[in-house]
Chain A
């Protein structure tokens, strides 16, 4: 049981980082887990530099759910804020591969940091979607933000 609920997960679940919905934002996504009713509304704000590189300026959210989903979203925001879009996709892929690995992939701590605490989730098939709820919302919001990328000015949309 302690493999699943590592101390770091319980800490994030009790006191989630970056919680609450904030302005300004470029895209908003809503994801639900239809079997249990867990929900997240997530916003992202992005900036684009002179070279055209898109950076995740902020990820804010309002979520209800179990400790795994809440902690996962919290850890995700720690990982993503300040990262480039390209790197955020690499993080998402690495995290998803780890939690779907059925115990085969312990996670790259150098890349994923605290998020490797969720490696234990991969042994509990019915909790994988809890761990991925926030990431799915992030992916959806990112897709929307990229679709409206043309609107993002050289120094960011919010200059």
Chain B
């Protein structure tokens, strides 16, 4: 249900901040922690930490294989987490949610499964790739949604193409019909650039892919934590996101896939728990999601992620999105107003998420980050695992501030003050 406008405006960070134990600590000689690196990894509320601890303390057992009481309880918690996550991201069926080791593992699961289709049964025919096929990505991908596809192209002989970025920091779709042709078998793109904040036209790209019979893989790492998500409504075929960027634990991520596709997709990792029948010379595999959960899954982390989803659901994702957009808009406005500072990304909040990267004339991002760190402000510096994107704009690296539910306008002010300090430190001496 959509929040009312009044409720949307009312995300109160005082009680929220009290839920995050790490925000009580100080850094660099007693300075309050100003954590503006949630895009890299978010901090965890006590309820997530407690959910993991409670599970390990009272209910811990292997899932999906034993019938004793603890195992039954563990199964219950694990599958309940899956069901809550399914609802949270708009999956039609709980079985469409596969727990992986992270988003990178989820994207590699799809990419390797495509590669394995060559020796799988007829049901996997649509995933087969060869020299006559294209894989399409965009120029703004995180390495995790680029390198696996490069490697798949190498293994299969398919050609990797990409939708370029324009000077306006948005995808240039002018030649889309020449890039996404009937040769395309998969179109993989991010739901939001982790550097520029740019939100591509997901519907338009998905429709273009489907028109030519290509499958859509959405890297949703930067969208699921920051706004309401409806994968079924978006009609994407696969999607990946990580737990640790949405207030959950590390070591767990999710691969979403339309059920019929997951059921036909060859497995990537094979072994225990994912098999139906094993003989000395061949095996058959379980239906999804077990098909893609070989070995002991990250049970504790999945349960922690379930708690994170509950926390975000209680806040309301529309309220979360509104809050973070307000802060990003404020940061863009205040940073742009500083002489010698350029926002690296769209200058307004239209089709844009809350990642705010910027460049400071004459001061390298590492040095900006160091001065900010000295003031207790934690930001990311470097190429943020998006090297081709930086190269596109002739930029070696950038400084990036990203926001979470606990971020405040005062923290934006601390960021701005820190950037001005960095300019002074490296400029007027």
Q: Which residues from chain A sit less than 8 Å from chain B, CB to CB? A: 1, 4-5, 7, 10, 35-39, 64-68, 70, 124, 127, 130
What are the 5 closest A-B residue pairs judged by CB atoms, nearest first?
A66-B366, A36-B382, A66-B364, A37-B383, A1-B374
Q: Complex: how many Å from CA A127 to CA B426?
A: 17
A70 nearest CB neighbor, chain B only: B364
- Determine if A67 and B364 form an interchain contact, defined as CB atoms under 8 angstroms apart: yes
Q: Taking the nearest CB of chain A, how far is it from the CB of B171, in angstroms?
A: 22
From B371, B387, B390, B429, contact of A1 by CB (8 A): B371
- The verdict on A37 contacting B382 (CB below 8 Å), with A10-B426, A10-B429, A67-B426 known, is yes
- Determine if A130 and B397 form an interchain contact, defined as CB atoms under 8 angstroms apart: no
| CB-defined contacts of A36 to chain B, threshold 8 Å | 365-366, 381-383, 396-397
- Determine if A67 and B367 form an interchain contact, defined as CB atoms under 8 angstroms apart: yes
| CB-defined contacts of A64 to chain B, threshold 8 Å | 396
From B367, B370, B387, contact of A37 by CB (8 A): B387
- Determine if A38 and B396 form an interchain contact, defined as CB atoms under 8 angstroms apart: yes
| CB-defined contacts of B374 to chain A, threshold 8 Å | 1
Q: Complex: how many Å from CA A5 to CA B382?
A: 19
Q: Complex: how many Å from CA A5 to CA B396?
A: 21
- Determine if B370 and A65 form an interchain contact, defined as CB atoms under 8 angstroms apart: no
Q: Taking the nearest CB of chain B, how far is it from the CB of A66, in angstroms?
A: 4
- Determine if A127 and B370 form an interchain contact, defined as CB atoms under 8 angstroms apart: yes
B393 at the interface (CB under 8 A from A): no
| CB-defined contacts of B383 to chain A, threshold 8 Å | 36-37
- Determine if A39 and B382 form an interchain contact, defined as CB atoms under 8 angstroms apart: no
- Determine if A4 and B390 form an interchain contact, defined as CB atoms under 8 angstroms apart: no
Q: Taking the nearest CB of chain A, how far is it from the CB of B237, in angstroms?
A: 32
Within 8 A of A (CB), among B125-164: none
Q: Complex: how many Å from CA A147 to CA B367?
A: 37
Q: Complex: how many Å from CA A65 to CA B367?
A: 10
Q: Complex: how many Å from CA A39 to CA B390?
A: 14
The CB with the most chain B CB atoms within 10 A, among A1, A36, A38, A70, is that of A36
Within 8 A of A (CB), among B349-378: 364-367, 370-371, 374
Q: Taking the nearest CB of chain B, how far is it from the CB of A85, in angstroms?
A: 31
From B366, B390, B396, contact of A127 by CB (8 A): B366
Q: Taking the nearest CB of chain B, how far is it from the CB of A25, in angstroms?
A: 24
- The verdict on A37 contacting B366 (CB below 8 Å), with A1-B374, A10-B426, A65-B396 known, is no
Q: Complex: how many Å from CA A10 to CA B424?
A: 13
| CB-defined contacts of A127 to chain B, threshold 8 Å | 366, 370
Q: Complex: how many Å from CA A108 to CA B382?
A: 32
- Determine if B382 and A35 form an interchain contact, defined as CB atoms under 8 angstroms apart: yes
Q: Taking the nearest CB of chain A, how far is it from the CB of B121, in angstroms?
A: 40
| CB-defined contacts of B382 to chain A, threshold 8 Å | 35-37
Q: Complex: how many Å from CA A130 to CA B365?
A: 12
- Determine if B371 and A66 form an interchain contact, defined as CB atoms under 8 angstroms apart: no
| CB-defined contacts of A5 to chain B, threshold 8 Å | 367, 370, 425
From B371, B381, B396, B425, contact of A39 by CB (8 A): B396
Q: Complex: how many Å from CA A10 to CA B382?
A: 20
Q: Taking the nearest CB of chain A, how far is it from the CB of B193, in angstroms?
A: 17
| CB-defined contacts of B367 to chain A, threshold 8 Å | 5, 66-68
B387 nearest CB neighbor, chain A only: A37
Within 8 A of A (CB), among B411-428: 425-426
| CB-defined contacts of B387 to chain A, threshold 8 Å | 37
- The verdict on A37 contacting B396 (CB below 8 Å), with A66-B364, A66-B367, A127-B366 known, is yes
| CB-defined contacts of A124 to chain B, threshold 8 Å | 370
Q: Taking the nearest CB of chain A, how far is it from the CB of B334, in angstroms?
A: 23
Q: Complex: how many Å from CA A60 to CA B381?
A: 28
Q: Complex: how many Å from CA A70 to CA B397?
A: 15
Q: List 14 A-B contacts (CB under 8 A).
A: A5-B370, A10-B429, A35-B382, A36-B396, A37-B382, A38-B397, A64-B396, A65-B364, A65-B396, A66-B364, A66-B365, A66-B366, A67-B426, A127-B370
Q: Taking the nearest CB of chain B, how far is it from the CB of A34, in angstroms?
A: 9
Q: Complex: how many Å from CA A64 to CA B374?
A: 24
Q: Complex: how many Å from CA A39 to CA B391?
A: 13
Q: Complex: how many Å from CA A1 to CA B429?
A: 14
Q: Taking the nearest CB of chain B, how far is it from the CB of A156, in angstroms?
A: 35
